[in-house]
Amino acid sequence: MSINNSDDAKKRLTPMQFHVTQRCGTEPPFYNEFWDNKKKGIYVDVVSGEPLFSSLDKFDSGTGWPSFTKPLKEISIVNVVDDSHNMDRVEVRSKNANSHLGHVFDDGPMPTGQRYCINSASLRFIPAEDLEREGYGEYKKLFDKSESGRELSKSSEKANSDYELATFAAGCFWGVESLFKQVKGVLETTVGYTGGTASNPTYRQVCTGITGHAEAVQIKYDPNVVSYEELLSLFWRMHDPTTPNRQGPDVGTQYRSVIFYHNEGQRKVAERSKEEFDRSGVYTNKAATQIVPA
């Protein structure tokens, strides 16, 4: 359902919802309803109620807006070329209501590599436990499947301990993760913040440098397929470890180079690897990489 009458739209929507959906506006980052929402459920068009995105595909992009790797259904989204503000972008609109939602960028995490940057004001959130009551019962199975999958994963891990963990910080964790994901023998990767003093810090807190966290990637790998030494070799090659608190245009302590070791064996291997890197002469300066406990 599309709102064609401007007066009707103003009556039904809040000023911000009207500004975003009907006038292609943009809400302030971080100061919006869903940018940090971690509850399970789906997001529907605030105008028509058509299902658009799922919390299962939501991630923290650090932009201050809700970000998703993909829509619930491709047919519910319309992409439009947007050359406003002297920029070439791809606008995202809902198919039925023709609401402006936001934009999509090709800098998201794998497997899609896309980041749907969406305005909270264009969305209404339906918690998983309310899906049937709100008329979205067909999507309840997504979250039932998610729960059963998580329980299976835990039991599988208990039954199969033939894997090891490695944790590295080498700049923006999305880029680091994408490279490690391509390695044969890497079973699973998780991005997050570590090495700091605060519990469960937000992106904004980490950016201040006060918490001391680094953007890092934890890797679950099969040592029978890929060794810790091989992961370290990729670690040294994927970034410039000689630049303290910086990787390219990303500047701050959260972008420092760190090897977080999980046992004494990893510590010894990491220190030896760092010495070999410094002797290699790849860079004029020696590595500023820290080697600390995970």
CATH of the domain at 88: 2.170.150.20
Indicate the residue among 112, 143, 174 that finishes a domain. Answer: 143
> 207: buried, middle or exposed (CB in 10 Å: 19+, 13-18, 0-12)?
middle
Q: Same structural domain for residues 229 and 167?
A: yes
Q: What does the pLDDT average to over 188-203?
A: 87
> 84: buried, middle or exposed (CB in 10 Å: 19+, 13-18, 0-12)?
exposed
Reported confidence tier of residue 6, pLDDT bands at 50, 70, 90: low
Q: What is the pLDDT of residues 54-101, one digit of tens each?
A: 998 998 888 899 999 999 999 999 999 988 877 889 999 999 999 999
Q: Same structural domain for residues 201 and 256?
A: yes
Helix crossing, 173-181 with 228-238: angle to 10°?
130
Whether residue 1 is contained in a domain is answered as no
Whether residue 63 is contained in a domain is answered as yes
How many CA atoms does the CB half-sphere of 183 hold within 13 Å? 27
Ramachandran area for residue 64 (φ above 0: left; ψ -120 to 50: alpha; else beta): left
Indicate the residue among 86, 118, 143 that finishes a domain. Answer: 143
Indicate the residue among 81, 110, 143 that finishes a domain. Answer: 143
Q: What does the pLDDT average to over 172-199?
A: 89
Residue 249: the pLDDT is 80
Residue 149: the pLDDT is 44
Reported confidence tier of residue 146, pLDDT bands at 50, 70, 90: low
Q: Same structural domain for residues 138 and 163?
A: no
Residue 145: the pLDDT is 56
117 catalytic, yes or no?
yes
Q: Same structural domain for residues 78 and 138?
A: yes
Reported confidence tier of residue 126, pLDDT bands at 50, 70, 90: very high
Cα 208-38-96 angle, rounded to 5 deg: 115
- Percent of the chain at pLDDT exceeding 90: 65
**Could you tell me if 50 and 122 are in contact, meaning their C-beta atoms sit under 8 angstroms apart?**
no
Strand-by-strand arrangement of the 51-54 sheet: 51-54, 41-45, 123-127
Q: What does the pLDDT average to over 42-55?
A: 96
Q: Same structural domain for residues 277 and 190?
A: yes
Instruction: Give how many domains the chain has, as a whole number.
Output: 2
- What mean pLDDT value characterizes the chain? 88
Given a cut of 90, whether residue 10 has pLDDT beyond it is no
Whether residue 240 is contained in a domain is answered as yes
Task: Give φ, ψ of 89 to 5 degrees.
Answer: -135, 170
Q: Same structural domain for residues 59 and 136?
A: yes
Residue 161: the pLDDT is 60
Whether residue 152 is contained in a domain is answered as no
Q: Same structural domain for residues 97 and 173?
A: no
Q: What does the pLDDT average to over 110-119?
A: 89
Q: Same structural domain for residues 175 and 103?
A: no
Cα 81-49-70 angle, rounded to 5 deg: 50
- Percent of the chain at pLDDT exceeding 70: 91
- What is the Cα–Cα distance from 151 to 129, expressed in whole angstroms? 19
172 catalytic, yes or no?
yes
Which of 42, 52, 126, 172 is labelled catalytic?
172
Token pair 């970000």 in the structure block, residue: 67
Whether residue 193 is contained in a domain is answered as yes
Q: Same structural domain for residues 40 and 74?
A: yes
Reported confidence tier of residue 278, pLDDT bands at 50, 70, 90: very high
Whether residue 110 is contained in a domain is answered as yes
Given a cut of 50, whether residue 150 has pLDDT beyond it is no
Q: What does the pLDDT average to over 190-206?
A: 86
Residue 15: the pLDDT is 93
Task: Give φ, ψ of 54 to 5 degrees.
Answer: -120, 150
Q: Same structural domain for residues 165 and 289?
A: yes
Reported confidence tier of residue 8, pLDDT bands at 50, 70, 90: low
CATH code for the domain in which residue 220 is found: 3.30.1060.10
Which of 117, 166, 217, 226 is labelled catalytic?
117
Given a cut of 80, whether residue 148 has pLDDT beyond it is no
Q: What is the pLDDT of residues 20-41, one digit of tens each?
A: 999 999 999 999 999 999 899 9
Q: Same structural domain for residues 79 and 178?
A: no
Torsion of Cα atoms, 34 then 20 then 98 then 56, to 10°: -10
**Which candidate, 143, 119, 137, places its Cα nearest to that of 54?**
143
Mean pLDDT lowest among 111-125, 155-169, 271-285: 155-169
**Could you tell me if 187 and 221 are in contact, meaning their C-beta atoms sit under 8 angstroms apart?**
yes
Q: Same structural domain for residues 284 and 202?
A: yes
Domain enclosing residue 88, as ranges:
6-143
Whether residue 16 is contained in a domain is answered as yes
- What is the Cα–Cα distance from 48 to 44, expressed in whole angstroms? 8
Given a cut of 60, whether residue 16 has pLDDT beyond it is yes
